[in-house]
């Protein structure tokens, strides 16, 4: 004898069917929302910093072109520290192609390709990414520049940043002895 399956119309069976119907709608919605959240987290790009003087700020160091220049700064004959982390931002997290890591005056030039950079570009990055107020304190002082110990004639902002070049900026009265080289601490390019 074949038994015909009958639909269970009891109160509990109706309730189970209703719950199953809701689950068939709710579970795909939950999966879709979770997938959208995961995709958004993976694809999210935090806002980037604006370029300064044509110099971009990237999330990681660009090492295709990597050299170092040295900068010493004097105000009325007294040497000043070049701050660390010039051109290195924490929010958004990025590094400009011209930056410092420590207070040793070494300018790190790290770019995606060989480009001629100038001291003026670095000074613009310094002024816009480091809030020490240094530039306000020397704004009315005359500036004299020296490259590898020799006085630079012309606009000091146009001095090219070249490998192991020693640059000295003096604001006001220069020191008696102008450094002809910079301590690069073992850096060879």
Place of tokens 């900068």: 71
Q: How many other CB atoms are found less than 10 A from the CB of residue 24?
A: 9
Cα-Cα-Cα-Cα dihedral sign, residues 127, 129, 131, 132: negative
| pLDDT bracket for residue 65 (50, 70, 90) | very high
Each residue of 66-120: pLDDT tens digit?
A: 999 999 999 999 999 999 999 999 888 899 999 999 999 999 999 999 999 999 9
d(CA 110, CA 50): 17
What is the spatial distance between Cα 140 and Cα 125, in angstroms, rounded to a whole number? Answer: 20
What is the Cα–Cα distance from 94 to 51, expressed in whole angstroms?
Answer: 11
pLDDT of residue 82: 95
Mean pLDDT of 20-36: 86
How many C-beta neighbours within 10 Å does residue 61 have?
Answer: 13
Judged by average pLDDT, the poorest of 20-29, 78-87, 141-150 is 20-29
Residue 9 banded pLDDT, cuts 50, 70, 90: low
Q: How confident is the model at residue 45 (pLDDT cuts 50, 70, 90)?
A: low
The whole-chain average pLDDT of the chain stands at: 89
Strand pairing of 57-58 and 98-99? unpaired
pLDDT tens digits, 149-162: 999 999 999 999 99
Mean pLDDT of 5-19: 72
Give the CATH architecture of domain 57-171: Roll (3.10)
CB 177 within 8 A of CB 74: no
> What is the structure's pLDDT at 108?
96
Who has greater pLDDT, 3 or 61?
61
Q: What's the burial of 65, exposed, middle or buried (CB within 10 Å: 0-12/13-18/19+)?
A: middle
* Residue 46: pLDDT over 70: no
Which residue's structure tokens are 């995606």?
Answer: 112
> What local confidence, expressed as pLDDT, does residue 39 receive?
79
User: Is residue 188's pLDDT more than 90?
Assistant: no
Handedness of CA 99, 104, 135, 114 (dihedral sign): negative
């Amino acid at each position: 004898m074949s038994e015909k399956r009958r639909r269970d119309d009891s109160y509990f069976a109706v309730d189970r069917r209703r719950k199953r119907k809701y689950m068939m709608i709710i579970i795909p919605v939950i999966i879709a929302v979770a997938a959208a959240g995961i995709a958004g987290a993976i694809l999210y790009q935090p806002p980037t910093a604006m370029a300064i003087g044509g110099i971009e700020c990237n999330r990681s160091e660009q090492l295709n072109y990597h050299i170092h220049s040295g900068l010493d700064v004097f105000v009325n004959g007294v040497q000043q520290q070049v701050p660390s982390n010039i051109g290195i931002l924490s929010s958004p997290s990025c590094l400009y192609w011209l930056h410092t890591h420590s207070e040793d005056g070494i300018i790190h030039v790290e770019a995606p390709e060989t480009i001629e950079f100038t001291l003026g570009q670095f000074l613009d990055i310094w002024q816009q990414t480091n809030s020490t107020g240094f530039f306000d304190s020397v704004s009315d002082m005359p500036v004299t520049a020296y490259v590898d110990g020799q006085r630079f004639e012309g606009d000091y902002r146009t001095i090219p940043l070249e490998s192991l070049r020693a640059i000295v900026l003096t604001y006001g009265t220069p020191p008696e002895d102008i450094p002809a080289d910079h301590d690069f601490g073992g850096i060879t390019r």
